[in-house]
Amino acid sequence: MATAGKVIKCKAAVAWEAGKPLSMEEVEVAPPQAMEVRVKILYTALCHTDVYFWEAKGQTPVFPRILGHEAGGIVESVGEGVTELVPGDHVLPVFTGECKECAHCMSEESNLCDLLRINVDRGVMIGDGQSRFTIDGKPIFHFVGTSTFSEYTVIHVGCLAKIDPEAPLDKVCLLSCGISTGLGATLNVAKPKKGMTVAIFGLGAVGLAAMEGARMSGASRIIGVDLNPAKHEQAKKFGCTDFVNPKDHTKPVQEVIVEMTDGGVDRAVECTGNADAMISAFECVHDGWGVAVLVGVAHKEAVFKTHPMNFLNERTLRGTFFGNYKPRTDLPGVVDMYMRKELELDKFITHSVPFSQINTAFDLMLKGEGLRCVIRMDE
């Protein structure tokens, strides 16, 4: 392409400081270096993680920064040493990676790549410690290796999943983060068998993706647990058969669920990040075979407390990161599940805005409205 090897000037939404609306700027995007790829982003969605680091209340503030990590795009050019991607390939950027060489990547049981696992404080490329974004020669920092709130971005090849070019990027972009996280927690970690009962704690986009996994698995009963009664109606589209609001009960919600299910659910998936919900999710599974999976990220001081007897009675507690999917190896198959109409994605998309109105997406998420807002980069 004519732009390969040259600096590209394009539009990006820059976070100059914590909590201030993003500002549309012209940025210079440098060509990709060794093992890097420059990608034209076509669609990006807003995930709660973007808002969390934009607010920067509980972590190291890194500004000015280009946020964004849930997206879909097309390869514009590749750096030295990149062999498995070529210009024109359709890709999903992922906030964690797969180098294919470390102990984790070589293990069938892990997706926590030593080289490319998520680093929220790093604002530069791993290869040379420099940013590929500048404004008037001054560096603008990257975010989790993706920075998709820019028309062009530079990403390590290990953080890009090559997908079916027929797949609509405005839908499958959701698989680059939240939907895969919840879906995989159920399909890869909880692994409910057909006819089992499943409880899902927290009915945001990730929780509903976990619920979608339960629906796809043929669960006989899917219990949604959330403090917001408005979530019940929406959850029905994802297979929810029962709804429990802990606020409606005087006893702990795990006791309510154990009574409802004659001893507990077969599987529980927790997607809130609240330690009490994590404990409830574990304590509501059936003895002998129950499995609870933790997805939500708790705050630094959080502690998980339960009686050891709960384990001795053969309950299992598991954790997961990015749904246990290896980004490059496994995501193409998740896209194929959508293409075969086994996985439904359209119902997760409740809003769509042009790139110029990206701050509207932030407003919607801060108000708790909708699930996913897809941002159209070409408008």
The reply to whether 117 belongs to the active site is yes
Q: Look at residue 356 and give its three-state secondary structure.
A: helix
**159 flagged as catalytic:** no
**Residue 190 per-residue DSSP state:** I
Answer yes or no: 350 catalytic: no
Q: Which of 173, 177, 271, 284 is catalytic?
A: 177
Structure tokens at 97: 């990676």
Contact 154, 320 (CB under 8 A): no
Does residue 221 contact residue 244 with C-beta atoms inside 8 Å? no
Separation between Cα atoms, residue 305 and residue 297, nearest integer Å = 16
What letters, b where the CB count within 10 A reaches 16 and e where it falls short, cover 74-96? ebbbbbeebeebeeebbbbbbbb
Catalytic, out of 65, 90, 105, 221 = 105
E strands of 5-62, at which residues? 8-14, 23-29, 36-45
The active-site residue out of 38, 65, 104, 117 is: 117
HEC string of 223-264?
EEECCCCCHHHHHHHHCCCEEECHHHCCCCHHHHHHHHCCCC
Distance of alpha carbon 33 from alpha carbon 311, whole angstroms: 49
Q: Which of 99, 173, 240, 271 is catalytic?
A: 99
**Residue indicated by tokens 């001795």:** 312
173 as an active site residue: the answer is no
Annotation marks residue 47 as catalytic: yes
Choose the catalytic residue: 65, 132, 315, 372. 372
- Residue 49 appears among annotated catalytic residues: yes
Which of helix, strand or coil describes residue 335? helix
In sequence order, what are the beta bridge partners of 77? 38
Answer yes or no: are the C-beta atoms of 58 and 299 closer than 8 Å: yes
Active site residue 372: yes
Cα–Cα dist 255/269, whole Å: 16
Gap between the Cα atoms of 173 and 26, Å rounded: 24
Q: Let me know if 318 is a catalytic residue.
A: no
Catalytic option among 36, 38, 65, 70: 70
- The whole-angstrom distance between residue 225's C-alpha and the CA centroid of its chain comes to 20
* Annotated catalytic residue 240: no
**Catalytic sites, residue numbers:** 47-49, 69-70, 99, 102, 105, 113, 117, 177, 372
